[in-house]
Structure 1
Amino acid sequence: MSQPTTRGCLAIRILALTLCSVGCEDTSEDADSGPEVVVRDSAGVSIVENDAPAPDSRLPWEFGTQPSLSIGAVDSGEADQLFQVTDATRLPDGRIVIANSGSNELRAFNADGSHAATWGGRGEGPGEFVSYSPTVVASWPGDSIAAVNPWGTRLSLFDADGNHGRDVPLDASLLNVVDLLPDGNIFTSGSGGLRRNMTGSSGLVRSNAEWGILDADGTLLASLGEFPGSEFYAIFAPDGSLEGGMPHPFGHGTMGAVWGKLVAIGVQDSYEIKAFATDGSLVRTVRRAGDLESPAQADLDEYYARRYADLPDEDRISNLNAVRDMPLVESWPAFSEILSDRAGYLWVREYRTAAWTVFDPEGRVQGLIETPPDLRTFEIGEDYILGWVYDELGVEYVQLWSLSREIPS
């Protein structure tokens, strides 16, 4: 978009004030601060329409040149040898608690990276975890720590010293805990995956899943409705019964995150994020402009060639044959991830790039920022980012990076 002149900027501001006085619509643009934003009210719901930031623009926020803390080791045989890390959180006292699902443990490390304690373990008893869990770890009101054990259909609560307090039962239809709200409520969803009783013909399928909020005792507090699950390539037998399937590598799904006292849900078919209150009411809809391009067959071929490149010839050919009839999706997903930080900003990761679009607490786009390379982000604080990486040997590390913000005026 071309930049307006000084006189043009004045005209835009006058027009915005006029619109506000007659139609409760707020239009704002600043040539130096970012893209245009239009805010309007629709039956009590705030609708925030944003232009896309320029692809080469970046927020004046900076990460450190290297991690300030890195937890992980090669063959140490100690707690810092990590395996299948699924999540991590930083506590108010500076400790970092890691969900090490490969050993079904929570591992706590001091602010200097030294091992403090290990909690949980494999089993079905109080405070123990089964299968690929814990999947989520987060602070809980009262200086407690919560960890999710979905296959055990419960959320386990520990005190600050790691003593198990109680378990919160999870609804069997809402086992996918997305995140925990500051008040102790639980943001969760169903699976939305393939179902054994499906019938049809081979191709792309997509099941809906319910999203909701549970209270601190595991009781359904509010249903947020059904949203589309992930797109699968499903293979059906001649009689219409399901034989098998796999997620489409470019498939669309639904993403969610806690956003301050709200929960945000975005369906990847379009760049739109809906924010709900804990009573289930829709509070805000945030949109960002931009056309969605479509992948080509060459993109799909390249993906699978790269994925199976290291397999023995026979296995590689077999795997490629299994996906040779996989259809293309209509478009690339609009985004790949949603997170919010502890300052109330919403971060939405661009698909196929390292850049995130950052929105302020009201849903106004602020600009683009790139997180440290190859870092899978778990948590963003006011002055740090916490995430997970692995090296060429497959060794896992949980890293803390500093974040310096210069809030755009």
Structure 2
Amino acid sequence: MITLGRHAVFVVTALIAAPASGQEIVESRAPRDPDLRLADEPLVRIGIVDGPVEYIFGNVTGAVRLADGSIVVADEQSGNVRRFDANGRHMWTSGRSGEGPGEYEGLRLLRNCREAPLTVFDWSLGRITELDLDGNVLATRSLLAAGVRPYNDPLCAPDGRLVYTPWPDDMGASYEEDLAEGDLYRWHTALESVEGDSVVTLRSGIPGAERFFIQAGASGPRWWGRDMVFAPAGAGVWYGTADDYELEHLDWTGRVIRVARWAGPDLTVTNDRVDSYREGWLAQYDDAEARRNFEREVWPDIRDQLPERFPAYEALIALPEGAFWVKTHAWLAPGEELHLLDANGAWLRRLTLPSGVVLDAGRDWVLLRQRDELGVPTVALYDLVETGG
């Protein structure tokens, strides 16, 4: 495994070998193409502090950019989905809070789903809702009725399958007799796919979320913790455990056909990075008393769970043609850093974002959740340009 500083440069960027096991190994020592950054100004920004309600967001939990340039936004606080044209003008609003058809209790938008123009996952009701491009409900189906209980949001594969990680069977209970309050452990999970009416287990026993023990039957996610992430592709599923810059590619039978390794930022925990994390949290509070409460009541727990090394990444964002972005751990460097890998796992690009959460992306654009200078939640579309451009 190659571990290098983030500014290292090599002439040869990818080495491919085929070991006796038949797995293809793709090792990238540096990105093939120049680094990317955001354009100076967004192409469009949606979200205001006061005015027409359709432009005001409470809790944006997803957004997708459609082929015509329009943007669809899921706002969980209002329980609805809204579509805006390529210039940011409101087109329609669909849905409300509730449990009936076209109503939502927990709202997520799924990307790259082929069954319907728009697909909504309701994590609270365990339900999939399909919408047409005018926001009309086409179909609703219960995942719970099929025995599917996703731990994280499910993802769509290009061939129509739904891929997800189920809730672990024992929830860490097998460790409880050896744990004391505050102890850390890591449960194991699986990758499963829904194919028609069948659920197929692609792989089990994968190291999943790192947790801290509270009491019997209760635990919480570890601050700074590693977790398993995945992204469906045409030939199967890419997944990784965030221990290092490595991902495995499973085919639809669960066989590992390819391993991708690349040289991301150094994972060493340093005081500067810890301070950056703390300052990021403090910046979310508007008054001095709230910041004091954070430092007195919350920060000690976060600080005390520091690992020896950061997780390598925390999300994969698949593109329709098979390439995918890897979002590195949020506090490895100032801003967010993403790496674009091609369909075979070779490292193509590096992108640094000064702020914001990626909701959707292509090779040359990103859709971000941000806050403006007044703290108003917004959705902003940016072109990506080469550094120095």
Residue 40 of structure 1 aligns with an amino acid whose one-letter code is A
Q: Which residue, out of 378, 382, 387, partners 1:401?
A: 382
Q: Which residue, out of 27, 44, 69, partners 1:69?
A: 44
- Is 1:319 the equivalent of 2:292? no
- Deviation string 1:153-183 (CA, Å, 9 cap, x unpaired) is 1111112222212223224432523421222
Residue 177 of structure 1 aligns with an amino acid whose one-letter code is D
Q: How far apart are residue 333 of structure 1 and its match?
A: 1.1
Instruction: Quote the Cα distance in structure 2 between the aligned partners of 1:291 and 1:402.
Output: 24
- Look up the match of 1:211: 191
Instruction: Quote the Cα distance in structure 2 between the aligned partners of 1:404 and 1:325.
Output: 36
For the 8 Å contact 1:72–1:81, the answer to whether it is kept is yes
Return the TM-score normalized by structure 2.
0.81
Q: Which residue, out of 216, 229, 234, partners 1:255?
A: 229
- Look up the match of 2:134: 161
Q: Percent identity?
A: 24
- Look up the match of 1:59: 34
Superposition RMSD in Å: 3.4
Change (3 A) 1:278 1:97: farther
Q: How far apart are residue 350 of structure 1 and its match?
A: 3.2
**1:290-305 superposed matches below 5 A:** 293-295=267-269, 303=277
SS at match of 2:153: strand
SS at match of 1:315: helix
Q: How far apart are residue 204 of structure 1 and its match?
A: 0.9
SS at match of 1:160: coil
- Look up the match of 2:248: 274
Change (3 A) 1:93 1:142: farther
Q: Which residue, out of 328, 340, 345, partners 1:358?
A: 340
- Is 1:234 the equivalent of 2:207? no
Instruction: Quote the Cα distance in structure 1 between the aligned partners of 2:303 and 2:115.
Output: 53
Instruction: Quote the Cα distance in structure 2 between the aligned partners of 1:305 and 1:402.
Output: 28
Q: Which residue, out of 167, 176, 180, partners 2:156?
A: 180
| Structure 2: gaps (5+ residues) | 3-8
For the 8 Å contact 1:174–1:210, the answer to whether it is kept is no
- Is 1:334 the equivalent of 2:312? yes
Return the TM-score normalized by structure 1.
0.77
| Structure 1: gaps (5+ residues) | 2-29
Change (3 A) 1:64 1:305: closer
Instruction: Quote the Cα distance in structure 1 between the aligned partners of 2:302 and 2:361.
Output: 40
Instruction: Quote the Cα distance in structure 1 between the aligned partners of 2:38 and 2:279.
Output: 34
- Look up the match of 1:23: none
Q: Which residue, out of 377, 381, 391, partners 2:362?
A: 381
Instruction: Quote the Cα distance in structure 1 between the aligned partners of 2:37 and 2:277.
Output: 32
For the 8 Å contact 1:222–1:278, the answer to whether it is kept is no
Change (3 A) 1:209 1:374: same
Change (3 A) 1:149 1:365: same
Instruction: Quote the Cα distance in structure 2 between the aligned partners of 1:297 and 1:191.
Output: 35
**1:60-139 superposed matches below 5 A:** 61=36, 63-130=38-105, 133-139=106-112
For the 8 Å contact 1:98–1:137, the answer to whether it is kept is no
Change (3 A) 1:263 1:404: farther
Residue 208 of structure 1 aligns with an amino acid whose one-letter code is H
Greater Cα offset, 188-197 or 199-208: 188-197
For the 8 Å contact 2:159–2:234, the answer to whether it is kept is no
Q: How far apart are residue 332 of structure 1 and its match?
A: 1.2
Instruction: Quote the Cα distance in structure 2 between the aligned partners of 1:275 and 1:47.
Output: 10
Q: Which residue, out of 347, 350, 370, partners 1:368?
A: 350
SS at match of 1:230: strand
Instruction: Quote the Cα distance in structure 2 between the aligned partners of 1:375 and 1:252.
Output: 21
Residue 258 of structure 2 aligns with an amino acid whose one-letter code is R
SS at match of 1:135: strand
Instruction: Quote the Cα distance in structure 2 between the aligned partners of 1:293 and 1:204.
Output: 20
Residue 337 of structure 2 aligns with an amino acid whose one-letter code is A
For the 8 Å contact 2:227–2:314, the answer to whether it is kept is no
Higher-RCO chain (CA-CA 8 Å, sequence separation at least 6): 2
Q: How far apart are residue 31 of structure 1 and its match?
A: 6.2
- Look up the match of 1:5: none
Q: When the two structures are aligned, how many residues end up with a matched partner?
A: 365
For the 8 Å contact 2:229–2:315, the answer to whether it is kept is yes
Change (3 A) 1:101 1:275: same
